[in-house]
Structure 1
Amino acid sequence: MVLLFKLKNLRLGCSLFSCTFASKTRSFVVGDLKPSHFTLHPQFLYRYITTEISPTQNDFTVTYLINSCGLSSEDAISASKMVKLISPDRADSVLALLRSHGLSQPQISKVVKCCPRVLSSCPEKTLSPKLQFFSSVGVSREDLARSVAANPLLLTVSLRERIEPTYNFLRSMISEKNIVTVFKRRSRVFLGNHCNDVVLNIGLLRELGMPQSSISVLLSHYVHVVMHEHNKFGEVVGEVKEMGFNLESSNFVFALNALCGKIRSL
């Protein structure tokens, strides 16, 4: 009797392997099983099949990010967590605007990967004014495209509250041509936190007696130095003074740059 029972179980196991699942239609076909031998509830089959189907396979946002923005599948799925597209209309307008300002497809992909929400921004009211501003102050088409791709956050900060005040502050000390150089080298200076540190650090140098000529050299050629966090910057300035450098000498700027290079780069 024990042997007969084991044989029946073996036949049931073989019959189970004959089940064929049609996942696309979410239906199932059972092989030569008779109701008296085996019954598999349809609800169980449905649950098994649907867990094998990725919820992103038919997601419009992921498909758009891959096909229109050039993102990889992995990057598209990650970016889709930060932006949801209902239709392609606004996103298409954003991409068209970026192309009109000289951004290549690889550069656009970098922008979207870093800041997916840019696709839901208003091209006319939010993005275009910023791009036009930088063009109006002398930034070339190539440099603008390169800087935006390297620092997409430029498209997210406020023109009136961040970009324009930073420009005006720099313009009060250096020429427009040198501001363009600053933008090309360290466009992050136009972001909020860096700008605040620059103002505080320049104020400290003025209080200590650094002449405007040296400050202009510092801003024009070594702006990354004054972009350091204010407290750390003050410590480095103290070290340079202890080394015997005079704030009125251009050598102080060179020494400051050398010591700031030891701090974690921005």
Structure 2
Amino acid sequence: MSRFLSRAIACRRHIVNANSPSTTFQNLLSAQIQWLSVRYATSTASNNAHSFTVSYLIDTCGFPPQDAEAVSKRVSLETRDKPDVVINFLKTQGFSQSQILRFIRHDPEFLRYDPDKTFLPKIEFLQSQGVSSSLIPRLVCSCPNIMGRSLSNQLIPSFHFFRELFQSDERLIKALTYCSSILLCINTHVLPNMKLLREEGVPESNIMKLLQFFPRTLTRKPVQFMGVVEEVKEIGLDPLKFHFLMAVRVCVSISKSTRAKKAYVYKKWGWSDNDIVAAFRKYPFCMTVSEDKIDAIMEFLVHKLGYESSIINRCPSVFALSLQRRILPRGAVIRVLLSKGLMKGKTSLSIFKYSEVYFLRKFLVYHGQKVSGLLDLYQSKLDLAR
């Protein structure tokens, strides 16, 4: 350290002796001005690029201003030449404005790609495998990352593997439309999770149904997926039945904290923990319903129609029905029939699950001759839902 200081002092003396104080000051001042000028120019260029990027994202891509500001931190555009080519390419491929927005939002760097070199070969491959042009935007937006992966090393091998597995191009294409990301995580997520299900005794036919209709379920990280499977087993569902996989799907897609919030609403209406578990066993999707909808259906069935909360617990699938288009119109008919003494007590909640044809024949046509305006009442409630 002392040797370094000695050299520095000697160098400083040499500079002072070689130049007069005024010359040295002028040189330093000139260097500082030059440095500040470069910094200012760089800062100005950066600010201009940022401003242009935000404007482009708003005006051309359709981003809301707040979102455009956030996305602009992930990409910098200096001119509209490259991004215009990308946007026009997507439009010619049938992408709607909302799909373009979703695609760019996922990875704004896509705006800097050469679409003819990067995007087009993948789209042409999918089309050659039977994917219709109209489905391409939906499939791509299901997982925009497929446009950034290797065609020869990733997409083609994965596509051919799944085609052999499904033994049907139609079934594979339908699965990809639901979740095309299975092409990207086949070895890291999909196959390990399928292997786990087999080890738990889940029939192969059920696993294939899950892969075809709910492929996103199998894209969860294996460690997390294993935890979900264990949780569903503890609830008491049978791995041999497809119901087991539906419960897995629900628990994969909805966090424990979110399920706890829904459970709290059910408890408000008198359900115990055991009641909630029993309902979940019968109909796992009762945990996918929003808290507001749970409240609204309970309010109508309990307070307007007089059903006991325990009765509703035995038919949790009622929460999957539309409140406006199914429960309220049919509930209005039930109330009238009860008030006229044409129904002996409250009917089973199955009345809300009957097909439209059966309901019309069983309740409206049969009782319509005795109760004037019954069909009009029902139709008016349906009209409100439109």
**Same fold, TM-score > 0.5, yes or no:** yes
- Kept in 2, the 8 Å contact 1:222–1:257? The answer is no
Which residue of the other structure, out of 150, 154, 161, is the alignment partner of 2:153? 161
User: 1:71 maps to what in 2?
Assistant: 63
Q: Does 1:186 align with 2:175?
A: no
Match for 1:94 among 86, 91, 104?
86
Q: CA RMSD in A?
A: 3.1
Aligned residues of 1:236 and 1:256 also touching (Cα < 8 A): no
Q: What's the secondary structure of 2:74's corresponding residue?
A: coil
CA deviations on 1:9-34 (whole Å, 9 max, x unpaired) are xxxxxxxxxxxxxxxxxxxxxxxxxx
Q: How far did residue 235 of structure 1 move?
A: 4.2
* 1:146 aligned counterpart, secondary structure: helix
Residue 115 (structure 1) aligns with: 107
* Among 247, 267, 289, the residue aligned to 1:258: 247
Aligned-pair CA distance for 1:99: 1.0
TM superposition shift of 1:115: 1.6
Asked if the contact 1:195–1:227 (Cα under 8 Å) also holds between the matched residues in 2, the reply is no
5+ residue gaps in structure 2?
Answer: 1-45, 256-386
Find the aligned partners of 2:49 and 2:206 in 1 and give their Cα distance. Answer: 58
Q: Which amino acid in structure 2 is aligned with residue 227 of structure 1?
A: T
SS of corresponding position for 1:63: helix
- Equivalent pair of 2:154/2:184 in contact (CA under 8 Å): yes
Greater RCO structure (CA 8 Å; 6+ sep): 1
User: Once the 2 structures are TM-superposed, how far is the Cα of residue 177 of structure 1 from its aligned partner?
Assistant: 0.8
Partner SS, residue 85 of structure 1: coil
Q: State TM-score, norm by structure 1.
A: 0.65
Distance 1:215 1:88, change over 3 A: same
For 1:151, the equivalent position in structure 2 comes to 143
Q: 1:198 offset after TM fit, Å?
A: 0.6
Contact persistence 1:154–1:191 (CA under 8 A) = yes
| Identity level (%) | 33
Question: Helix, strand or coil for the counterpart of 2:119?
Answer: helix
Q: CA deviation at 1:216?
A: 2.5
1:31-70 matches, cutoff 5 A = 55=47, 59-70=51-62
Task: Name the residue aligned to 2:210.
Answer: 218
What's 1:202 paired with?
194
Looking at structure 2, the residues matched to 254 and 222 of structure 1 have their Cα atoms a distance apart, in angstroms, of 13
Decide which structure has greater helix share.
Answer: 2
1:172 aligns with 2:164: yes
Q: Structure 2: how far apart are the matches of 1:158 and 1:64?
A: 29
How far 1:207 sits from its partner (Å)?
4.8
C-alpha separation in 2, matches of 1:258 and 1:125: 43
Instruction: Tell me, yes or no, if the aligned pair for 2:83 and 2:111 is still in contact at 8 Å.
Output: yes
Residue 59 of structure 1 aligns to a residue whose secondary structure is helix
CA contact (8 A) 1:62 1:77 kept: yes
Structure 2 CA distance for aligned equivalents of residues 255 and 71 of structure 1: 41
State the match for 1:82 in structure 2: 74
Distance 2:226 2:50 in 1: 54
